[in-house]
Amino acid sequence: MSLLAGMLVADFTRVFSGPAATQLLADYGADVVKIEDPRAGDDARVFGLGDNSAHPAGGASASFVALNRNKRSLGLDLKSDAGRAVALRICARADVLVHNFRPGVIERLGFGYDALSAANPGLVYCEISGYGRQGPLAARGANDIALQAHSGLMSITGEAGGAPVRCGSAVVDLHCGMSAVAGIFAALLHRERTGKGQRVETSLLAAGANLMTYFYQEYWLDGTVPRAMGSANALTVPNQAFPTADGAAIIIGSNDEMWLRCARTLDAAALDQPEFRSVEGRRANRVRLVELLSGITRRHSTDALVAMLDAAKVVAAPVRDVGRAAEDPQLHAIGQVTEYEAEGRTLKSVAPPFRLGAAPPVPPRGPPALAADTDPVLRQFGYAPDEIAALRAAGAFG
């Protein structure tokens, strides 16, 4: 039996952080009811550039497909009394609720923690906000890139002396989602022992700070304000991308032994110089070493270079584009790519990032089209056909 079998998740989330969190709960067997505005649904459904019409779930974007498998979609107009009444019935029976509305919005809708927990004291209630629920910026709008900037992450990403650069994927959003998952599992552990639910809070601000924790620590201890260094870092040399005949590869010579193996593997005569033999020496001669090494790495293909260095026990890796990364045989070999059938086609998706030996994920189902599961969900919660008709007439479903 799956870990979360029999658990009901009332999912009010949209876009990235929240859907990433609830998808993981769905992967481990929870019944995730995604409550969406019946007019347009989750904003992420329409993200994307090209023609999505052939995509599953009614032409959903790749982002939506990536983060909403194993869920059911219930279309509810939360601005209507009838829609809110349906959502309230679901919340009264839910084991977990997750939302990422701005602070204050969910209370105005009538689904605040105090109201719901009074009726359902076992509820684990997870709030994901931009800047947290208190403080001067509580009401400010936020997204991943805003928090990459606010947290200082952007200031250390980019070319030395160049413009600030985005970390290419939504790392703050997705780290926030995983933090929410950890907090929800922690609260479920507490509930298993005590029968009591609780509020779980996280925010993009908290997740961004967590990703920056060791830089803040250095600032607090020493006043250090680091700067972007391209692909390099300040600590060790070499520790960055080098050009190859057909792209680029990472080479790490973090300690003296690894550097010596690297130098002897690639070109001992050119590289094994006394001034490069210590960490401090390599740092002091960074520019010359990187230039010298680049001249040598350019002679090799990326794959050949990485294979040579790997054989010599030097940490190395190819800088790969998204296509090659998605097709990586190693990623498939460790079961991180799941293939499944949905809507008559084969879909691939990235499996959860942790694996439990005794509690595997459920077999994947594709993401839901907007409001696709409204009627079955209503019947599951005890609504008779005439009640459903009355709710529809009252505008519950938009």
The correct pick among 178, 237, 293, 378 for binding a second copy (CB under 8 A) is 178
The correct pick among 81, 107, 218, 291 for binding a second copy (CB under 8 A) is 218
Cβ neighbours for 375, distance < 8 A, ≥ 6 positions apart? 388
**How many residues interact with a second copy (rule CB under 8 A)?**
146
Instruction: For the CB of residue 72, give the shortest distance to a second copy in the complex, in Å.
Output: 20
326 near a second copy, rule: CB under 8 A: yes
Tell me which of 31, 81, 173, 321 is the catalytic residue: 173
Q: What tokens were used for 68?
A: 């909403």
- Cα angle: 200, vertex 203, 206; to 5 degrees: 105
Number of neighbouring beta carbons within 10 Å of residue 29: 19
Longest dimension (CA), the chain: 86
CB 63 within 8 A of CB 143: no
User: Which residue, 91 or 200, has its beta carbon nearer to a second copy?
Assistant: 200
340 near a second copy, rule: CB under 8 A: no
120 near a second copy, rule: CB under 8 A: no
User: Which residue, 68 or 374, has its beta carbon nearer to a second copy?
Assistant: 68
Identify the CA nearest to 251 among candidates 209, 308, 185, 201.
Answer: 308
The correct pick among 181, 260, 377, 378 for binding a second copy (CB under 8 A) is 181
Cβ neighbours for 289, distance < 8 A, ≥ 6 positions apart? 237, 238, 276, 282
Instruction: For the CB of residue 180, give the shortest distance to a second copy in the complex, in Å.
Output: 7
Task: Write the interaction track for a second copy spanning residues 132-151; mark x where CB under 8 A is met and - where it is not.
Answer: xxxxxx--xxxx-xxxxxxx
**Stretch (H or E) spanning 97:** strand 96-99
Q: 292 to 311, contacts with a second copy by CB under 8 A?
A: 310
The correct pick among 6, 104, 164, 363 for binding a second copy (CB under 8 A) is 164
Q: 78 to 117, contacts with a second copy by CB under 8 A?
A: none
Residue 173 is among the residues annotated as catalytic for this protein: yes
Per DSSP, the three-state class of 70 is coil
**CA distance to 142, 153, 230, per residue, from 102 (Å):** 9, 23, 35
Instruction: For the CB of residue 35, give the shortest distance to a second copy in the complex, in Å.
Output: 21
CB 116 within 8 A of CB 90: no
Stretch touching a second copy by CB under 8 A, among 59-67, 82-90, 104-112, 378-386:
59-67
User: Which residue, 143 or 380, has its beta carbon nearer to a second copy?
Assistant: 143
**How far is it, in rounded angstroms, from Cα 306 to Cα 248?**
10
Task: Give me the active site residues, please.
Answer: 173
